[in-house]
Amino acid sequence: MSAPAGDGSGAGSAAPADSGGVSIRLRGCAKTFADGTTALRPTDLDVAAGETVVLLGPSGCGKTTTLRIVAGLESPDPGGTVRFGELDVTEVPIERRNVGMVFQSYALFPNLTVRGNVEYGLRVRGMAPRERHARVHEMLAMMRIEPLAERRVDQLSGGQRQRVALARAIAPRPRALLLDEPLTALDARLREELRVEIDRLLRSLRITTVYVTHDQAEAMALGDRIAVMADGRIVQVGTPREVYFQPADAFVADFVGTMNRIDGTIDGGTLRFPGGALALPDGHARPWAMFRPEDLRLVEPGHAQFSGRVASCFFLGDHTRVVIDLGAGPPLVARLSRREGLAPGDPVHCAVDAQALLTPPAHRAIAP
């Protein structure tokens, strides 16, 4: 029933930030469900000890399946292996993997108080009461929920539940922390607040973390690295900067942040389209170019690479979001910080620096 003290649960006297964690290595992990649907194609993933990797992608891309394979809630199809450090844990059920998990619905136990929930992982490990109380106190303090200790979970707000779920997951000092869309159920403001909180927590614990989300802002803010997923495979793994500035393909470019796309025809090293022309970077010969809204500049007519008209204009305080119609093709979005306003119909003259232009390959969608 109770694990022997010494698997991390008995280290009550050690510093709070000692859990650190273990590296995680997935090799050839695929998942086909009983009904024949492929949730995940053979996937490799490496998470260094103490690192936070965010699995980012639209719903149905396989990110939650990947997380559940790491957790041990799903086993990969034969051939796939999961390693925690040097240990092959492919056949080890979640009960003995010593991972902390936070669910989208929190999965708090309604029959227990906040204290009972946080304590649960320690109790099933058979930790001595004195140590257990100290640890629970420490966790409640860390998540700033001490005044709620004796409340039942149905008496808590969404944000409070989230804190309890985090406290419960990290209380047994797990080897890795796994979070499945933990902020999705919260409203925008609370989400922002808790994102900061989670970031602070992960930095202070330096615990190996896999974080699943479909929100690219969350991914950017929290991830040491981001693994962008689509169609049951990882399309790109990289730091937030790499993923943002050097997207591996058109899908990543479009999914992470807002991306403008201009289609046209190649003429030498130049992309020609109805509103004007753009000089393409060397060696890129695809008939489209992409750039971020913040890279579009308004210039004097003489310096313009292309021109269009303002379709709509939204003043958002710190910047203005302008939608520009080139006359053909999808409209472009510009993020401008100038103070004077623009009215729909105004002619605008635009330029984009050559180094801001991206010409990633098209996304290779795989037939299901």
Helix (H, G, I), strand (E, B) or coil at 336: strand
When the beta carbons of 107 and 217 are compared against other proteins, the nearer one is: 107
Residues 279-338 that bind other proteins (CB under 8 A): none
Count Cβ atoms within 10 A of the Cβ of residue 18 and give its class: 0-12 exposed, 13-18 middle, 19 or more buried.
exposed
Considering the rule CB under 8 A, would residue 100 count as an interface residue with other proteins? yes
For 184-205, give the DSSP string. Answer: TTS-HHHHHHHHHHHHHHHHHH
d(CA 56, CA 68): 15
d(CA 96, CA 72): 9
Q: Are 65 and 77 in contact (CB under 8 A)?
A: no
When the beta carbons of 71 and 262 are compared against other proteins, the nearer one is: 71
Least distance in angstroms from the C-beta of 200 to other proteins: 23
Q: Please choose, out of 97-105, 253-261, 303-311, 343-351, the segment that lies near other proteins by the rule CB under 8 A.
A: 97-105
The correct pick among 111, 282, 302, 339 for binding other proteins (CB under 8 A) is 111
Considering the rule CB under 8 A, would residue 71 count as an interface residue with other proteins? yes
Considering the rule CB under 8 A, would residue 116 count as an interface residue with other proteins? yes
When the beta carbons of 118 and 280 are compared against other proteins, the nearer one is: 118
Residues 153-212 that bind other proteins (CB under 8 A): 168-169, 172, 178
Beta bridge partners of 179: 102, 211
HEC profile of 209-222? EEEEECCHHHHHHH
Least distance in angstroms from the C-beta of 137 to other proteins: 15
Least distance in angstroms from the C-beta of 133 to other proteins: 13
Considering the rule CB under 8 A, would residue 132 count as an interface residue with other proteins? no
Least distance in angstroms from the C-beta of 2 to other proteins: 9
Considering the rule CB under 8 A, would residue 110 count as an interface residue with other proteins? yes
When the beta carbons of 147 and 302 are compared against other proteins, the nearer one is: 147
Considering the rule CB under 8 A, would residue 133 count as an interface residue with other proteins? no
Q: Are 178 and 209 in contact (CB under 8 A)?
A: yes
Element (H, E) at 323: strand 320-325
The correct pick among 37, 105, 157, 265 for binding other proteins (CB under 8 A) is 105
d(CA 365, CA 218): 25
| Cα 202 off chain centre by | 14
Considering the rule CB under 8 A, would residue 36 count as an interface residue with other proteins? no
Considering the rule CB under 8 A, would residue 11 count as an interface residue with other proteins? no
When the beta carbons of 108 and 252 are compared against other proteins, the nearer one is: 108
Beta bridge partners of 29: 43
Least distance in angstroms from the C-beta of 123 to other proteins: 8
When the beta carbons of 49 and 92 are compared against other proteins, the nearer one is: 92
The C-alpha angle 118, 124, 126, rounded to 5 degrees, equals 110
What would the two tokens of residue 218 be?
Answer: 């969350």
Considering the rule CB under 8 A, would residue 5 count as an interface residue with other proteins? no
Give me the sheet containing 225-230, strands edge to edge.
99-102, 176-180, 208-213, 52-56, 225-230, 233-238
| Cα 182 off chain centre by | 11
What would the two tokens of residue 363 be?
Answer: 């996304």
Least distance in angstroms from the C-beta of 178 to other proteins: 8
Applying CB under 8 A, the residues found at the interface with other proteins are 1, 3, 71, 73, 93-96, 98-101, 103, 105, 107-111, 113, 115-116, 120-121, 124-125, 150, 152, 168-169, 172, 178
